[in-house]
Amino acid sequence: MSLKEEIQNIGRRARKAALQMARIETAVKNQALMRMADSLLASRETLRGENEKDLNSAREKKLSHAMIDRLTLGDSAVKEMANGLREVANLADPVGEVVRMWKRPNGLQVGRVRIPLGVIGIVYESRPNVTVDAAGLCLKSGNAVILRGGSEAIHSNRAISAILQSALKEKGLPIDAVQLIPRIEREAVYEMLCLEDSIDVIIPRGGEELIRFVVENSKIPVIKHYKGVCHIYVDENADLKMAEKICINAKVQRPGVCNAMETLLVHEGVASRFLPRIYKSLEEKGVELRGCPRALEALPHIRAAGPDDWGREYLELILSVKVVSNIDEAIEHIETYGSMHTDAIITASYERAQKFLKDVNSSCVFVNASTRFSDGQQLGLGAEIGISTTKLHAFGPMGLEELTTTKFIAYGDGQIRE
């Protein structure tokens, strides 16, 4: 069997499993999720052994410390994965929910009912925990999933997916509802992206390069975000103490993630007071500031920002700073350089809070809160399968509901169209 045929078979089996999964009762899905959690914990030894193979070749290939860190499946990582599955079991099942129902003048009762999307394809990089998280969310939402993790985690992922499949089997669910592409060739991803008849949506998770590869090669719709260039705009009459606290949190608490702040916009009326203050706190945390000419007036000792600094996702302890004349300039800057991810305003003005919420076109727009809340768990979706910064189907953090769609149903008693 060729690689192409092998991948096509995986797709066909997933499509068949998806039809079954759409009909499975909530309780059975939850039992399978709990069983998966138990099995993962019971298989820590096996997982450690398989993970060791991946770690060995990672060390041989001299992968970075950060990558090896992400790859490592210690006891605490396994425990976290199991807990994640249990949390998903406790979430409400979106499938079957009647979103709305109304009556037509002819007596026809029309409604929209939530149904699974079908088959979800996940393409991701080294973290083996994505295998578990994504499988859990897709299962709970009644979908089948095809997983394609990074080649460097292949032994770990194979071991995990075998555990998940045996839990499915034990609970009478189709094992093809969770399938891993077991091949490490990049060509396998390419073949997966051609399965337009078998896969309904592709969600890539990883760096910008991976996502571009997926978008360029996929014949299947892709839900994605390339990067997060998040802004905070400190307005003229912001509570500067609050602004400071939020800016530090947004920049420093976890600088390597997509919802960390990358650019600070400050109203000219408070720049001379706020900038020296925030500079001091950020410098203590090791943050490098890069300023526009007007920011340099208040902070003459920082580095000047170059044209490349606007719209740049540093993902480290660097922050670009720009002084703006008013909220319109702030919004225009975000429109020009932002990534439609998450942007926040700090203000005491009711009017400007409302204006910012209305006019900023990002998937998450916050008032007086840290950009770090842009996350499915934090916003109350229960869990997150990914983030979308394009508007079709989903915009912003995606939870269980975003793995579903609705169909129309109608209860009639003989209605015909006149």
Residues that bind its own copies (CB under 8 A): 19, 22-23, 96, 102, 104, 108, 110, 113, 115, 117-118, 200-201, 221, 239, 242, 245-246, 248-250, 253, 335, 353, 357-359, 361-370, 372-374, 378-380, 390-397, 405-417
- In the complex with its own copies, the residue whose CB is nearer, 156 or 371, is 371
**Residue 15 to residue 116: CA distance in whole angstroms:** 12
**164 versus 247: smaller Cβ distance to its own copies:** 247
How many CB atoms within 10 Å of residue 238? 25
Q: How far is the CB of 78 from its own copies (least distance, A)?
A: 24
Of 56 and 354, the one with the shorter C-beta distance to its own copies is 354
CA distance 115 to 98: 10
Nearer to its own copies, 21 or 78 (CB): 21
356-359-362-367 Cα dihedral, nearest 10 degrees? 10
- Give the shortest CB-60-to-its own copies separation in angstroms: 38
Residue 379's nearest CA partner among 77, 138, 222, 370 is: 370
**How many angstroms separate the CA atoms of 83 and 89, rounded?**
10
Whichever of 261 and 292 has its CB closer to its own copies, that residue is 261
- Minimum Å gap between C-beta 222 and its own copies is 9
Write out the H or E segment, with its range, that includes residue 36: helix 26-42
How far, CA to CA in Å, does 418 sit from each of 111, 183, 415? 21, 57, 9
For the bound state, the minimum distance from the C-beta of residue 121 to its own copies, rounded and expressed in Å, comes to 12
Nearer of residues 10 and 238 to its own copies, judged by Cβ: 238
36 vs 365 by CB, closer to its own copies: 365
Q: Which of 366, 353, 348, 350 is nearest to 239 (CA)?
A: 348
CB of 55 to its own copies, least distance (A): 31
CB of 381 to its own copies, least distance (A): 9
For its own copies, the closer CB: 95 or 159: 95
CB of residue 23 vs its own copies: minimum separation in angstroms? 6
Name the nearest CA neighbour of 277 among 253, 231, 245.
Answer: 245
What b-and-e string marks burial along 267-277, b requiring 16 or more CB atoms within 10 Å of the CB? beebbeebbee
Strand partners, 150: none
Residues 319, 263 contacting (CB under 8 angstroms): yes
Closest contact distance (angstroms) between CB of 83 and its own copies is 18
**How is 184-214 classified by DSSP, letter by letter?**
--HHHHHHHTT-TTT-SEEEEES-HHHHHHH
